[in-house]
Each structure stands twice: as C-alpha cells, then as structure tokens.
Amino acid sequence: MAKDLGLGVGLAAVIFLAFNGINLLPILFLGGIGYFLFNTVSKQALGDNFSISNKDEIKVPEVDFSDIGGQDTAKNELLEALEFVKSKDKIKKLGIRPLKGLMLSGPPGTGKTLMAKAAAHYIDSVFISTSGSEFIEMYAGVGAKRVRKIFKEARDKAKKSNKNNAIIFIDEIDVLGGKRGKSSSHMEYDQTLNQLLVELDGISVDDQVNVLVVGATNRIDILDEALLRPGRFDRIVKVDLPDKEGREHILKIHTKNKPIADDVDLTQLAKETFRFSGAQLESLSNEAAIMAMRAEAEKINREHFKEAIDKVMMGEKLNRRPNIEELKRVAYHEVGHALLGEVVNPNSVSNITITSRGKALGYVRHNPEDDYYLQTIDYLKNQIAVLVAGSLVEEEILGNRSTGASNDFEKAIKVAQQIIFSGMSKLGVVGKDSLPGKMLHDTISEIINEQEAIVREEIKNNKDFIHKVVEILLEEESIIGDEFRRLLTEERKEDNVA
C-alpha cells in the first residue's frame, strides 16, 4: 500500500514538473542511482544476500574417520560424543540431555574440518559448513539474523532429506565467539554471539531434527566463557599436531594412490617431518609427486621426497646466488650448525645445503630420533650451542661474524629466557614481571657465553674436518646426513691414529 502511494505521488510530481518546462533527465538519473543504492544497502542490512556456501548441497560428506590419520585420541573422544547423537532413544530413556556442541581446538592444518565432515558421515547427518566471519556485518542485527537463518536452514534440509540429524560446522568460530565487551564501538559482535547462545539453549531432546554445532578454532583462549560452558559446547576436543606414528599413518594415507619407489622409507620420512601438520604432510606427498613428474620418473623416489621436505619447510629454490666469498661464508656457517648438531645429538643431521630457499641462504635440517615434549636443561643448552655455532665458525676461521646469524641469536636468546623462566637457571624460580631487566640480560649473556666456550673448543678440534666439508659443499651444494657422518667418523679415526 505504502509503495503504491509513493509511486503515485512520484508520478504526479513528474507530470507537474514536465508541464512547467523543467528538464527531468538529471532528476531521473540521480533518482535511479539513489533507488539502486537504497535497495542494495537495504538488502545487505537485512541479510537478504546471505547464503550458506553449500546451500543446494544436502548430501552427507563422504569423508570417513579412516581417512584421517594421526589423531587417534581426538577421533576416539569425538566418536564417544557422537554415540550420544546416534542413540537418541536410549539417551532420552536414561534422561540424558542431548549433545549440543563440540569444539575442535588445535593448530591450523591438523584436520579439524575433516573431522567435522567425518562426524557428519558417521551419524548420517546433513552437513552445513560456514565461517565465523560470514556472520559479522557493520549493520546492527544482521549477524543475529544470519545465526537464526542457518539453524532454520539446517532443520529444513534435514527434513527435506528425511534425516534426523544436522551438523552446523562453524570454522574460525573465534571471529564469532570472541569475548564480549571488547568491541565497544558497536555491539554487533555481542548481539551475534548472544543469538548463537540462544539457539544452542533452544536445542532439545524432543526436537524432530537433532542439530549439533561443531566449532573449530586455533585460538580457544579468546572464546567467550559463556560459549564453552557445559550445556552449550559440551566437549572440547584437542586436535593437535601428530606424533611420529601419526605422521607415518598420514603419509601412508596420502601415498596409497601414488607409485612409490622401493628406496622410500615412510618411517624415516615421519622422523624427518617433526612438527609437520596433516596439511603439510599432504602437501609433501603432492610436491614429491610433482617433482617426480618434472624429472619424468615413473616412481616417486627418496630424492623427490627429500626435495619436497625442503620446499614445504623453506619454500621454492631462488634464482639468486651469492658471490663466491658469500657462498663460502654460508658454507662455513652451515657446517658449524651441522657439526654441533651431530655432537650434541648424534645421527640428527639429515641434510646440509647452501642452496637459497625463502629467506635462507643455506640451512641444516635436523631430525630428532624421537619427538620431545618435555625439555631438560641439557637439551636447551645444546640447542643454544647449535644456534651459535654458525657465527662462531665464521669468527674462528674467517676472522669475523656476519649479519646472517641475527636470526640464530634471536632464537638463542628465547631459549635462554625459557631456561630462566622455567626455573632452571642460577636465579631459581623467578617471575617475568618481577625480574629486573639488567639481571635478566646478565643471566642470558652468562648462559650463552657458557655455550660459546664449549662450541669454540669443538671448532678448534675439528678445523680440518670443517674445511673438508666446506670444499664438498662448494662443489656439490648439499650433503646428506649419512655422508656427513661418514666424513666425521673418518676424521675422528685419523685423529686417534695420529
């Protein structure tokens, strides 16, 4: 009615102005632009343009828990929680309230999205995937409306496909569920979170469609406490980086459809990929296959995987090449790291190279025999020794240091601080806020100087060996760990004979 009245008044005004000889073209042009902008802004403000990424997709994901490797603990915990969803009649008889929310927490690339899809497959559920950022707008009330809409859509899709369960997966939920009161400029964030809390509270065991909300975040520390309390997100499942056995399992999954040569040892690859996420291991397998294709090889061999590890860790090879003097310095620097790495942790050096990748002019890849989650004072001091060894070799053999060691020193200082604030220094147990700056500086210097003295002694005892490895590096550009250890063993035998 109001729209028809407005059109009538507008038409009368146009006729009146035309009879009085006024040029209507500029008015009509500006009016058209205004009408277009008004409609666009209105639709955005009302959330009419919002749609879920898989709006027309109601199929259950085909991802199964067997497709996810290295997360046995997380999978078992999730499967236990999903049993409550599958056995709805049983839990109703026992008076158990329904499971409303599951929070998957862990670093990027560990398989949180895959686990949410596998959960939907396990309980034969409609799966709706979205992101926390899709609920946030500058217009008040839009986010809350979108939350209501996604819950309604989940129920409608489940009914349409004759399913009893629907999973709403919200990736990066920390954008939507951050602690309230931080955005003082406008309350849109808080209103959106409040609506999500209301929707979670509204889930009942008597609902025709059981809606389960699965959130994923790598910043669980910034989530609002009201979101994580029991009765909303009932379970928090930690999806962490895989251990050595987990990495091997993931590699087996991602290489089962690839022609792998006999010289490839997945157990050894798992050792060499310490702290790799599942996504990085998938990328590693893919990059190795690409390198085999470039080399026109029929199978993916050990060298392809070795090159792929370096690429995933450091990036692609760069065209830039230092001049011969710089290259020589880089070689001495990296041999210093490798020597001390082998001294403090035998059999740990995997590869030494002076090929530029990313921001590094050269690097040494160290592979621990086992994954370490607790670090002793000896372990941390050894790490400092390895870090400072590169610059000390430059100083002892070339006569001075270079700026190439700046990143090593930053890391060494952080390790020294870790020693101090873990109560393992001469200061005993200290607090970060109560420790005077000069005392902290002096203690860090003392810890690092102690290791520098040990490193200098090792360098003086192995100068001939260092020169020999540098010559090979300048000619070959890289040395594998086994060859490096062979040369070191031969040098030590010669010294003992002498």
List active site positions.
334
The two tokens of residue 370 are 């086992």
Count other Cβ atoms within 10 Å, centred on residue 209: 18
- Reported for 420-427, long-range contacts at CB under 8 A and 24+ positions apart, including other chains, are 420/444, 420/447, 424/377, 424/380
* Residue partners of 309: CB distance under 8 A and separation at least 6: 269, 272, 273, 284, 365
Contact 211/164 with Cβ under 8 angstroms? no
124: region left, alpha or beta (phi > 0 left; psi from -120 to 50 alpha): left
Say how far apart CA 64 and CA 122 lie, in whole Å: 7
Say how far apart CA 417 and CA 406 lie, in whole Å: 17
Give, to the nearest 10 degrees, the angle between helix 324-344 and helix 463-476: 130
The pair phi, psi for residue 393, each rounded to 5°, is -65, -40
Q: List, in sequence order, every residue forming a beta bridge with 365; answer none if it has no partner.
A: 351
Place of tokens 């008044």: 9
399: region left, alpha or beta (phi > 0 left; psi from -120 to 50 alpha): left
DSSP 404: G
215: region left, alpha or beta (phi > 0 left; psi from -120 to 50 alpha): beta
The two tokens of residue 21 are 């000889």
End-to-end CA distance of the chain: 107
